[in-house]
């Protein structure tokens, strides 16, 4: 089993970096389900992508993508410092998404076989 860590910094809807990260994560789960263990840590403005009740007017729906990933076994956490800074720590999160810490990210990084940054 290969441990793959995604660190996502990009704003959820400002450009396609966040979307591209989720597309790759979903493809890895679909194509190599029994061979990969996926963890996603959202930092900076990316933490907004982990909020519930998103209603994009058109295009991709990041909340749905995150919920598919977590339902299939991926772990998704939002940086607590980043959510605090944006005043969103107490808001409802997408199903399966949790608040995490830099301590967890440090552990995940050491345990990871691959670290991908978006």
Nearest Cα to Cα of residue 114 among 39, 61, 53: 39
In the prediction, which pLDDT does 109 show? 98
Which neighbouring-strand residues pair with 77? 41, 98
Looking at the 3D structure of the chain, how many domains does it have? 1
Q: Which domain holds residue 75?
A: 2-117
Q: What's residue 116's pLDDT?
A: 98
Residue 112 contacts residue 2 (beta carbons within 8 Å): no
pLDDT per residue over 42-99, tens digit each?
Answer: 999 999 999 999 887 776 789 999 999 999 999 999 999 999 999 999 999 999 999 9
CATH number of the domain that 112 lies in? 3.40.1260.10
Residues whose CB falls within 8 Å of the CB of residue 105, separated by 6 or more in sequence, listed in order: 7, 41, 77, 79
Three-state SS at 98: strand
**What pLDDT is attached to residue 13?**
86
């Amino acid at each position: 089993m290969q441990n793959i860590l995604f660190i996502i910094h990009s704003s959820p809807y400002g450009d396609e970096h966040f979307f591209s990260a989720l597309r790759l994560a979903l493809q890895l789960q679909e194509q190599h389900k029994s061979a990969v263990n996926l963890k996603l840590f959202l930092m900076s403005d990316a933490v907004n992508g982990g909020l519930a009740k998103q209603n994009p007017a058109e295009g991709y729906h990041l909340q749905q993508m995150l919920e598919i990933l977590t339902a299939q076994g991926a772990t998704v956490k939002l940086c607590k410092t980043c959510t605090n800074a944006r005043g969103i720590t107490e808001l409802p999160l997408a199903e399966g998404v949790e608040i995490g810490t830099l301590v967890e990210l440090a552990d995940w990084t050491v345990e990871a076989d691959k670290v991908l940054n978006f």
